Chains A and B, each alone.
Chain A
């Protein structure tokens, strides 16, 4: 069955692939994070704890840097659903990492408005400076370079997300300055969101 008469299914592109992440070390939420999760669960009806899966996964990722199989199992237990339901969610959303990532995750927006302003070259220069391909992490575990889809700051293109922070109007030739700045001063070097005039 095909949706189009000329569709070619013969090149192995259409096989489903399920790659389970590593089990990782034993995982239990810290008491503080567990309490935070219960606080979030209270936002939903008592029989709808599953609504807090995304929040629970963020907490797991915050605690461990990425999400392992054991973390998923623990989330399932705490939320009251099956590990498969948690895996279903983890594998869908792009902001959950199932592999270790660097301390700084650089996310270059690659969609049209940023691309028109040179995002392709931004990625190219960052890759050159870091010595990693997009998707990769440097040997020291300091930086991960990712290309992401539209971040919603197209008027300040090109935009580079750095973990939960933003760096706007980043020129390709400033790749070295950004990387060195993050090494030396951390997220203080980021432009942040220009709208936040109070912080400026």
Chain B
């Protein structure tokens, strides 16, 4: 398949307006503005596009839910707070193909009747923001953003909003809170943002990659889009492969590609580095269950990976070779979740910290067998008991590694030491990161 989202990213000047327009950019916007908002939403529904941020919710349906009757302004928020460990696809799109995202935002605004789109970009992406600010100014000068866009009577502004270091801001209601100038903490749902979102107004929150697919759908048709990839998992997809592979990177493919190919095929990550053996794969960002080497012969689609017992999530594929200690890996991730927990819900705030301390104890060789049951019990007390999916995400690395690598946990406890030390780790570190 031809590349659709990342075709030109390595060409000089690919991020500029001139380059984008020469490739046929902003034609979809013109076409969309000639359609009714309902027709745009219908096209996105018919395309089968599912949200690329992690949940895989149908985008057309999300837009269809945006309340058109409240009489309040409506908003579109582009979620560019890419923070899920192992994920770096939106980064690529924004830095090398920013006008595709702008065009997606504008078409989305037309569809839901919004006059303003906010792009919430994570604070650490300062260099990406520089690119976006400059290109946004070019688009505004050329009449693609602002008033009477393309002379078609459509007014729409796009603004950048810089976050300041908070993983939780990627959750849609936490993102809205942060946009309102508060701590990035999730809201109780319902009401969903489609009814009461930013400033209490109907709001759609969409991931960067999701919005980047919208111009393709409008320009080339829902049917064409729906024919790419397996049924219900349509369209091009970006996969981020990192960890112990020969060629880590962002790869575009339809969701017919298998996880195995993404890890081993020379077109993609090219196999495990140094000829070592594969130990485990996290297929969708750190928040999803770990898969074993014999579980990755499945299509890298929302539905197939769910059937295999994990999730496609944000398509951040983290590959670990046989030098990796899974207790250490779980501890590393729980350090992340403990640090990033927004603190609003007790199970996540207290439970995450507690899990992290127990994992540290086991990794240092001070664990007891009963700690394993305690890990599972604490995780079970977090799962499904928090306002947002963060709690589940924090419990998942523990639940899945204890389930799949219980023998390794037990060996740590029995032998009173880490049984899988690796030269690329620091020995002092295991101590420093404990309780």
Interface residues of A (CB under 8 A from B): 3-4, 6-7, 13-14, 43-45, 48, 50-55, 57-58, 79, 81, 85, 88-89, 92-96, 110-113, 115-118, 120-121, 123-124, 148-157, 161, 164-166, 192-193, 195-198
Contact = CB atoms under 8 A, between A and B. Distances in A.
B126 interface: yes
Contacts of B10: 197
Most chain B beta-carbon neighbours within 10 Å: one of A53, A79, A112:
A112
A60 to B, nearest CB: 12
A6 B374 contact: yes
Contacts of A165: 126-127
A51 B161 contact: yes
A4 B126 CA distance: 41
A150 B87 CA distance: 9
A4 B425 CA distance: 33
Interface stretch (B177-185, B220-228, B254-262): B177-185
A116 B243 contact: yes
Given A4-B378, A95-B124, A155-B241, A121 B424 contact: yes
Interface string B336-376: 10011010001100110110000000000000000000100
B116 to A, nearest CB: 8
Contacts of A153: 88, 91
A151 B354 CA distance: 25
Contact of B336 (A3, A52, A89, A150): A150
B320 interface: yes
8 contacts: A7-B354, A50-B182, A93-B163, A94-B166, A112-B318, A113-B243, A153-B91, A195-B92
A52 B350 contact: no
B242 interface: yes
B366 to A, nearest CB: 16
Contacts of B183: 88-89, 92
Interface stretch (B29-37, B186-194, B293-301, B327-335): B327-335
B165 interface: yes
Contact of B166 (A92, A123, A198): A92
Residues of A contacting B: mostly: loop
B419 interface: no
Interface in B354-408: 354, 374, 377-378, 381, 385
Contacts of A149: 83, 85, 167, 336, 339-340
Given A113-B318, A152-B122, A96 B164 contact: yes
A39 B163 CA distance: 17
A148 B347 CA distance: 24
Contacts of B332: 110-112, 115
Interface residues of B, number: 82
A149 B182 CA distance: 21
A50 B183 CA distance: 12
Nearest to B180: A51
B123 interface: yes
A53 B241 CA distance: 36
A92 B165 CA distance: 9
B316 interface: yes
Contact of A117 (B126, B167, B249, B424): B424
Interface in B147-167: 157, 159, 161-167
Contacts of B199: 45, 48
B95 interface: yes
Contacts of B242: 113, 116, 154-155, 157
A156 B245 CA distance: 12
B264 interface: no
A119 B163 CA distance: 25
A111 B336 contact: yes
A121 B428 CA distance: 10
Contact of A93 (B87, B166, B248): B166
A14 B350 contact: yes
Given A51-B161, A151-B124, A193-B127, A112 B329 contact: yes
